[in-house]
Amino acid sequence: MSVRAAAPHRGSEFRISLFQTAAGVKFLEELRGFSSHAAEIQAKQFTWPRVRSVLQRSAICSAASGATFYASATAMQGLFGGLFRVSASTPVLAPVCGGVAFIISALSADLAARTCIKIFFTHAKPQPERRKRKRRKQPETTSQQPVKVNPIVPVAVSFGMFLLLGGRLRSFLPSNVLKPGAFHRRLGSISGSSQYASKAGKELTQEHGAAFGCHTCGIVRSQFWADHMPPKAVVAARAKGWARKFFESRRVNYRMYPQCRPCSSIQSATILRKSRKLIYHYNVLRRYHLTGLSVGLMQSLFPQ
Ligand SMILES: [Zn+2]
């Protein structure tokens, strides 16, 4: 090769001769091009148009994913309550259906964020000419294959955010008016007996209602009653059975939860009719609904 012929012994002559070859000249061109491209990228990192673009993308993706998460959660409530009659107090099925509703809502929000990026921002990333030439030479492998979406990451991250925001899986389901509702919390209740709440108990119930809302429908701004759970009328009806009469009188541990007046009226009517009534909470917004925003924010900042 001409390299060895031009500089067989001395190192400096060897290097000069190496870069005079065709491969050496090409390497230098590539190096210069890479350096200028890296400098260009570095210069763009903290410019205002770039920051503004990131903010716009984050805002649009978060809004889309947040709205989608809320809409999906609402639809799941109607689906499981309306079609399958599953409520927040249904044993076994409540956490299972709540989990399914959460996963569907999180994936829907993630899909909305991805779609926004694809529609509004994909065209805003022109590739440098040098890279385009390089890609043509590569075999058709990754660029031609469809992008595989890993659903575990967005679901896991959003579930962590959901828990941090105080979310509970049963909140995706409607409330059975005869049972502790979708918004009940033991922390927001007081122990009681078959008697009405005392004055201190009523005041505490009012405070619990302001903090956690009506345990059935979730409304926060209201006058709250101390609602017995289980309802006294239901316990009285059970106690009429000859076998249970003795045991029920000893077994019942009442808790009193805050309940708004409309829900209390519906509960009374349901007990009179001896029927089952589900209360839907479509228009209630809670902190855990912000989970959808976090999904879009994550997808816009760290797209997969
Ligand atoms: Zn209510």
Task: Tell me how far the alpha carbon of residue 267 lies from the centroid of ligand 1, in angstroms.
Answer: 10
What's the farthest any 2 CA atoms get from each other in the chain? 112
Distance 219 CA to ligand 1 centre (A): 6
Question: Regarding predicted confidence, which is higher, 178 or 149?
Answer: 178
How far, in Å, is the centroid of ligand 1 from the Cα of 168? 18
Percent of the chain with pLDDT over 70: 71
Which whole number is the average pLDDT over 62-74? 94
Q: How far apart are CA 32 and CA 25, in angstroms?
A: 11
Q: How far is the CA of 262 from the centre of ligand 1 (A)?
A: 6
Six token digits for residue 282: 């479509």
Kindly give the distance from the C-alpha atom of residue 175 to the centroid of ligand 1, in angstroms, as a whole number: 10
C-alpha 302 to ligand 1 mean position (Å):
40
Ligand 1 centroid vs 218 CA: distance in angstroms? 6
CA of 217 to the centre of ligand 1 (A): 4
* Dihedrals phi, psi of 182, to nearest 5 degrees: -65, -20
How sure is the predictor about 142, in pLDDT bands with cuts at 50, 70 and 90? Answer: very low
Backbone angles phi, psi at 23, to 5 degrees: -65, -40
The pLDDT score that the predictor gives to residue 7 is 46
Q: How far apart are CA 170 and CA 99, in angstroms?
A: 8
pLDDT class for 192, splitting at 50, 70, 90? confident
Question: pLDDT class for 94, splitting at 50, 70, 90?
Answer: very high
Q: Compute the distance from residue 38 Cα to the ligand 1 centre, in Å.
A: 60
State the Cα–Cα distance between residues 37 and 146, nearest whole angstrom: 28
| Secondary structure of residue 191 in the 3-state scheme | strand
Cis, bond preceding 230 (omega within 30 deg of 0): yes
Whole-number Å distance, alpha carbon 56 to ligand 1 midpoint, is 39
Per-residue confidence at 2, pLDDT binned at 50, 70, 90? very low
Residue 90 confidence (pLDDT):
95
207-246 residue pLDDT tens: 999 999 999 999 998 799 999 999 988 888 776 666 566 6
